[in-house]
Structure 1
């Protein structure tokens, strides 16, 4: 079986292509207003918080800005006081509700073809996103990762997406099917036991990407709704409707790769350049053309993520230091003093006071 993934080159800026904030089809938010209400919050209030009108999330072939969509799910988690909002919303998100991309998965001939199509066409459904279905050793991974470095808060989207992926597989193999592992790129949340219950599998956090990991023994099983002609029509309709997988600016690509590599240690420019399929010197030159310096982007990314993670009271300071690529907590502490004029414990106190 051949691997299918989004074309990373399509996400690179060119002289001819206009830069894009990235869109996502509104079908991704199908039912979110009702789910917000079920969780005890007012949908209109949540939608107004992020500047989205309710009619926009009820028109499946309309589009939302990806940043606004991610902000919507994060705001829903905050207003409902359900920290696992995206996880539980995704748990009940059946493929039919996902619009064109869900229908493509259901109309594919086999489970393997369904997952290949899901990975291939998902970046048309959700732009500026990398998706892949690939084999690692004896296991397959169905992956998804937002490439846009400007979108710092993306946990709820990741958990919702993995829930959608899970339901596609279960449509073919039954509701009791479970992956071997589930991976998330964000830090472990406070109520992480719920994730193991939803997926019925070990769940790992601070991983390079979000993924379902499983064996290939059932990939040739037919999809119940297989319809080859319909599948071709749906694929064409999706690519025509959205037009592209998005065009992301260089700086935002670099910040996205920096973020992904931080848990492994300091993200050296050689590694980021390799991930973007260019040489170190080419990346340095192109950043200079944008008046950017790589080390400054690392510093900014670390600062923004530090502020995000320090708002999460359950995360030990040592873990935050590790996630941000610091070899010692003392180095993280010095960085906080440089950024916020206070050590991490004091910064956290200030941030949590603001949340009350």
Structure 2
């Protein structure tokens, strides 16, 4: 029987590896080797050669912390933003360099920022009496040290605006939620405007005339093609996220008894029907996820623990030992005890 293991990672959020590759390159400019830091943060360096791969957000936050410590630069994120190339964002970056205006560039970031990190949210804000556009950046489930990822994205957006316009574009304002240390000279110099620290939100605002200025390198057809590819990728990513999140919730509730679809759906703030539909679009179902997870856990516990058969059954959410035994017959073609003995014979 072909089984698909379910990630036991407690976080369903992830970061694009090609973005991390650029962060590593920036670290090398400081004379810092990023590979030992990746390892210390629990990130597999081999994935750097797989552009579509993704790293867990929690590990990435440890990586940012280590980078700031090793470089001694609290504004390391600013340097990432001023150096990272648009191609590091794959289809999103290619759509950006062919867009028609700053307004289009900002719209792409609002729609597709979760390609970079699934915790990132970018939205438009139109304050009263302000003739322009403000982008507000947020992250879910905590922040990177010194809000490094948000600072990097803000710096990247500003650099792209200047590059595509082929002249210096000065924002109307830049606000950061970083603590106000009084040391903003480097930030002010980069953005070309006094940066306000200690603010409620991280944001960048542009004047109306800058947002509508047409870009000479605009190619709407290429922008649409790449935006479509990015949209397809993001849809797949969202589907994978819901599968991983359901798997995590199932694992967390197994010892309390067999998880029920309505209870898991409620934790995700979805109706049971919506959850089933989203899982189905990924080619999965709640029952198959539950069964696959139990299969993996049963095999692991029978092979690598001294727990009794009854205890293992309870850990898998079976209230009746006979139901666990029947499941093992279906999974392994034998009883739990026989599977444990067969496994021990193979290992010897």
Q: TM-score, normalised by structure 1?
A: 0.59
Deviations 1:239-270, CA, capped at 9 Å, x for gaps: 32233556699xxxxxxxxxxxxxxxxxxxxx
- Other-structure match for 2:114: 123
Is 1:145 aligned to residue 138 of structure 2?
yes
- Other-structure match for 1:176: 168
- In the alignment, the residues of structure 2 paired with residue 211 and residue 111 of structure 1 have an alpha-carbon distance, to the nearest angstrom, of 15
- Other-structure match for 1:220: 212
Counterpart contact for 1:101–1:125, Cα < 8 Å? no
Q: How many residues align?
A: 234
Counterpart contact for 1:140–1:216, Cα < 8 Å? yes
Q: CA deviation at 1:78?
A: 0.8
Is 1:29 aligned to residue 23 of structure 2?
no
Is 1:233 aligned to residue 210 of structure 2?
no
Residues 58/203 of structure 1: CA separation in 2 closer, same or farther (3 Å cut): farther
Is 1:186 aligned to residue 178 of structure 2?
yes
**Structure whose alpha-carbon radius of gyration is higher:** 2
- Choose which of 189, 197, 216 in structure 2 pairs with 1:197: 189
Q: CA deviation at 1:169?
A: 0.9
- In the alignment, the residues of structure 1 paired with residue 194 and residue 55 of structure 2 have an alpha-carbon distance, to the nearest angstrom, of 33
Residues 226/82 of structure 1: CA separation in 2 closer, same or farther (3 Å cut): same
Residues 83/153 of structure 1: CA separation in 2 closer, same or farther (3 Å cut): closer
Counterpart contact for 1:180–1:202, Cα < 8 Å? no
Residues 44/190 of structure 1: CA separation in 2 closer, same or farther (3 Å cut): farther
Q: CA deviation at 1:145?
A: 0.9
Counterpart contact for 1:33–1:54, Cα < 8 Å? no
Is 1:40 aligned to residue 45 of structure 2?
no
Residues 211/44 of structure 1: CA separation in 2 closer, same or farther (3 Å cut): same
- In the alignment, the residues of structure 2 paired with residue 42 and residue 219 of structure 1 have an alpha-carbon distance, to the nearest angstrom, of 39
- Other-structure match for 1:56: 47
Q: TM-score, normalised by structure 2?
A: 0.60
Deviations 1:47-94, CA, capped at 9 Å, x for gaps: 112111333234332212223223322211111222221111211223
**Structure 1 or 2: larger helix share?**
2
- Report the secondary structure of 2:211's partner residue: coil
- Other-structure match for 1:167: 159
Is 1:99 aligned to residue 90 of structure 2?
yes
Residues 39/230 of structure 1: CA separation in 2 closer, same or farther (3 Å cut): same
- In the alignment, the residues of structure 2 paired with residue 126 and residue 35 of structure 1 have an alpha-carbon distance, to the nearest angstrom, of 19
Counterpart contact for 2:133–2:207, Cα < 8 Å? yes
Q: Which one scores higher on RCO, CA 8 angstroms, separation ≥ 6? A: 1
Counterpart contact for 1:27–1:57, Cα < 8 Å? yes
- Other-structure match for 1:90: 81
Counterpart contact for 1:26–1:63, Cα < 8 Å? yes
- In the alignment, the residues of structure 1 paired with residue 180 and residue 98 of structure 2 have an alpha-carbon distance, to the nearest angstrom, of 35
- In the alignment, the residues of structure 2 paired with residue 127 and residue 187 of structure 1 have an alpha-carbon distance, to the nearest angstrom, of 25
- Report the secondary structure of 1:223's partner residue: coil
Q: CA RMSD in A?
A: 2.8
Counterpart contact for 1:70–1:156, Cα < 8 Å? no
- In the alignment, the residues of structure 2 paired with residue 233 and residue 102 of structure 1 have an alpha-carbon distance, to the nearest angstrom, of 12
Residues 222/20 of structure 1: CA separation in 2 closer, same or farther (3 Å cut): farther
Q: CA deviation at 1:177?
A: 1.9
- Other-structure match for 1:318: none
Residues 144/215 of structure 1: CA separation in 2 closer, same or farther (3 Å cut): same
Residues 164/34 of structure 1: CA separation in 2 closer, same or farther (3 Å cut): same
- In the alignment, the residues of structure 2 paired with residue 164 and residue 28 of structure 1 have an alpha-carbon distance, to the nearest angstrom, of 12
